[in-house]
Amino acid sequence: NQSGSLYDRIGPDALAALVERFYARVALDPDLAPIFPADLTQTAEKQLAFLTGFLGGPPLYHQRYGHPRLRARHLPHAVTPARGRAWLACMNAALRETPGIAPADARELYAALSRVAAHMVNTPG
Ligand code: HEM
């Protein structure tokens, strides 16, 4: 399925598993945990909806919550360069430990998320 979207190649089950592993790591990260809610259930649900559309699947986030306006939604949170790196480190680790994501797809997803993460940084270190 190399010609389909990243969403088609990864599939909904592996994507959900990835998001679950990602927030398990966020909850344990000393830089990230303090700016996230203690209960990450809704955050994870929104992220799964966002990534589904971002990777070329159905636009679930738009349907449920409207335009993501991601940079604006992050402005209330101090996203420093260190937190950007911590976020990407959690994602990289989650990608490696989620079964069913081919290494080439993991690299492509990570590269795309690196660009979005750089755009979310809103506070100097
Ligand atoms: C929400 C931090 C990067 C997508 C949030 C929230 C925080 C946060 C604190 C609020 C959680 C909540 O109240 O539920 C960060 C940090 C990042 C980062 C430190 C480091 C650069 C990203 C990236 C994406 C993303 C790269 C997209 C791939 C989202 C989404 C939400 C969210 C979809 C939910 C928005 C909503 O409330 O509807 N993020 N984020 N974030 N973030 Fe990030």
* pLDDT-above-90 percentage for the chain: 97
Residue 64 Cβ inside 6 Å of ligand 1? The answer reads no
For domain 6-120, give the fold.
Globin-like (1.10.490)
For residue 26, count other CB atoms closer than 10 A to its CB.
Answer: 22
- Which of 77, 110, 114, 122 maximizes ligand 1 atoms within 8 Å of its Cβ, making it the mutation to test the pocket? 77
Question: What does the pLDDT look like over 14-31, one tens digit per residue?
Answer: 999 999 999 999 999 999
Domain boundaries of the chain, sorted by first residue:
6-120
The string of DSSP codes covering 73-97 is HHTTS---HHHHHHHHHHHHHHHHH
Atom of ligand 1 nearest to the CA of 118: 21
Q: Is the pLDDT of residue 125 over 90?
A: no
Split at pLDDT 50, 70, 90, the class of 73 is very high
pTM above 0.95, yes or no: yes
CA–centroid distance, residue 44 to ligand 1 (Å): 9
The ipTM of this complex is 0.97
Residue with tokens 């979310």: 120
Three-state DSSP class for 19?
helix
Q: What is the mean pLDDT of residues 33-41?
A: 98
